[in-house]
A and B are shown apart, each in its own frame.
Chain A
Amino acid sequence: MYNDIIIDNFSDPRNVGDLESADHELEIGNPVCGDRIKVQLSVTDNLINKAVFRAWGCATSVATANIFCRSIEGQTATEIAQRQPQEIEAMLGELEPSQHHCLHILSELHEKLTAQLNVGAA
Chain B
Amino acid sequence: MDQQHLSGYFDYNATTPISNEVAESMIPAITQFANPSSSNRYSMLSKKAITETRNNVAQLLNTDANKVFFTSGGSEANNWAIKGVLFKHTAKPGHIITTEIEHASVLDTVNYCVSHFGFEVTYLKPNEHGVINIADVKQALRDDTQLITIMYANNETGVLQPIPAISALAKEHNIPLHVDAVQFVGKRRVDVESLNVDYLSLSAHKFYGPKGIGCLYIKDAKSIIPLIHGGGQELSMRSGTENLVAVIGMSKAAQEASLHVEQWDQDNWACKQHMMTLLKSAPIQIKFNGTTAYQDALSNTLNISIKGIRGEALAARMEIIHSYIISIGSACSNNKTKNISHVLKAMSMDEDDIQSSIRVSFGRFTSLEDVEKFVTTLVAEVQRLLAISEG
Contacts and interface: CB of A to CB of B under 8 A. Distances in A.
A36 B310 CA distance: 11
A48 interface: no
B389 A34 contact: no
Given A58-B332, A62-B313, A16 B320 contact: no
Which range holds the interface residue count of chain B?
A: 20 to 34
B175 interface: no
Contact of B310 (A11, A57, A99): A57
B333 A104 contact: no
Contacts of B320: 2, 7, 10-11, 59
A62 to B, nearest CB: 6
Contacts of A18: 391
Interface in B346-390: 351-352, 355, 387-390
Contacts of B309: 56
A57 B311 CA distance: 9
Contacts of B338: 32-33
Name the residue among A7, A56, A62, A96 with the largest chain B CB count within 10 angstroms. Answer: A56
B335 A54 contact: no
B387 A10 contact: no
B330 to A, nearest CB: 9
B345 interface: no
A55 interface: yes
B313 A57 contact: yes
Given A2-B316, A59-B316, A62-B313, A98 B334 contact: yes
A55 B312 CA distance: 14
Given A16-B387, A54-B388, A55-B388, A101 B333 contact: yes
Interface string A1-38: 01000010011010011100000000000101110100
24 contacts: A2-B320, A10-B317, A10-B320, A11-B317, A13-B388, A17-B391, A32-B337, A33-B334, A34-B310, A34-B351, A54-B388, A54-B390, A56-B308, A56-B389, A57-B310, A58-B310, A58-B313, A58-B332, A59-B313, A59-B316, A96-B332, A98-B333, A100-B334, A100-B335
Contacts of B389: 36, 54-56
B140 interface: no
Nearest to A30: B335
A74 B275 CA distance: 47
Interface of A is mostly: mixed
A54 B387 CA distance: 9
Contact of B388 (A16, A96, A97): A16
Contact of A101 (B313, B321, B332, B351): B332
- A-B complex: 8 closest residue pairs judged by Cβ atoms: A59-B316, A33-B333, A98-B332, A56-B389, A58-B312, A59-B313, A58-B332, A101-B335
Interface in A76-122: 96-101, 104
B336 interface: yes
Contacts of A32: 333-338
A33 to B, nearest CB: 4
Given A32-B335, A101-B335, 15 more contacts: A2-B320, A10-B313, A13-B388, A17-B391, A32-B336, A33-B335, A55-B388, A58-B316, A59-B312, A62-B313, A97-B334, A98-B331, A98-B333, A100-B335, A101-B332
